[in-house]
Amino acid sequence: MVRSMSMEQPVCLWPVGTELGEGPIWHGASHSVYFVDIRGRQVHRCAPDGSQRQSGNAPGRAGFIVPAAATLNSVVPAPRRHSAGTQVRSVATGGSENLGPRLRGGDGGDGGAGFIVGLDDGLYHFNEQTGAFSPLRHIEADLPNNRFNDGFAAADGSLWFGSMDVGETEPTGSLYSLHPGGRLTSVDSGYIITNGPAMSPNGKTLYHTDTLARNIYAFDVLPDGTATRKRLFVATAGPGHPDGMAVDADGSIWVAMFRGARIDRYNPAGELTGTIAFPVSNITKLAFGDADLRTAFVTTAWKGLSEDERAREPLAGALFAFRTDTPGLAQHTISLQDIA
């Protein structure tokens, strides 16, 4: 019998009401949580207790956000249709200001280099100090009905991310890896909705989700970064579909279940070892953070809920948190020099 995990129950940090919250990360440099609202076209940030809330508009559907390293000076931006800055509202003060003036810090090792964000048409640099988005690399120019979805930064400096069909009907999505030095590889294809790339603590196993098929796959990661030997890791059980995920320091895989109102935890052998229930249906992703990496920050969504369901789930789209027995893995950065 699968047991409920013995830890604190999830609490709402911020009833932000994202239509499709996604991509939480722990940003050590500012001691804060960043996440996106894909359909709301926003980037959000708050302190680990839910205070110091700030929100800014993105010039497209932001599928993921990861912290950048180095400077933009060595990057040659790809020509694109637009490059936009945006003003944001500070929820804490009620005023209008840029997202980042209060977020400066040095302990995260990113040198104040901002963030890399996956938008509809490729990878962008996000300067949280000014609120500006600058195009870095255009990808899938031949697939205008695709957008980019979940992604994460690996310990070796590689970026793993997926694309998907906006209409969620066509298998036009792919899994990509962008390696130090700028090598972009299409790892796998044929997905309608890609989700949850994550990696084992030793960097040798990649996990990736085919959401609509309810399957989580594992790949071997070779020393040169090549992902090979795809195999089924877990065929998840309903209710719900596997969405984003994170791996803890023991190698357990924590999977957010969209329409499942829970997070499931699997050991490296693919055995379900626990579950934690939520008061909302659509759980999208989690990230470990705070000083000891034992707080899980969880994004949710109200996408797809009926009016009656939304009335029953007033916290749908909120940012939640709960404490864990095992710490997660540190958040890594991606060098801007490796994007162009």
Closest CA to 124 of 195, 20, 194, 43: 43
d(CA 293, CA 288) in angstroms, rounded, equals 5
Residue whose tokens read 């939520």: 278
Work out the number of other CB atoms within 10 angstroms of the CB of residue 212. 16
d(CA 127, CA 211) in angstroms, rounded, equals 31
- Starting at the edge strand found earlier in the chain, the sheet holding 215-221 runs 194-199, 205-210, 215-221, 227-235
**243 tagged catalytic:** yes
Helix/strand/coil for 77:
coil
The one catalytic residue among 243, 248, 290, 338? 243
Distance from the first to the final alpha carbon of the chain: 49
d(CA 30, CA 236) in angstroms, rounded, equals 36
d(CA 233, CA 313) in angstroms, rounded, equals 32
Show which residues are catalytic.
Answer: 243
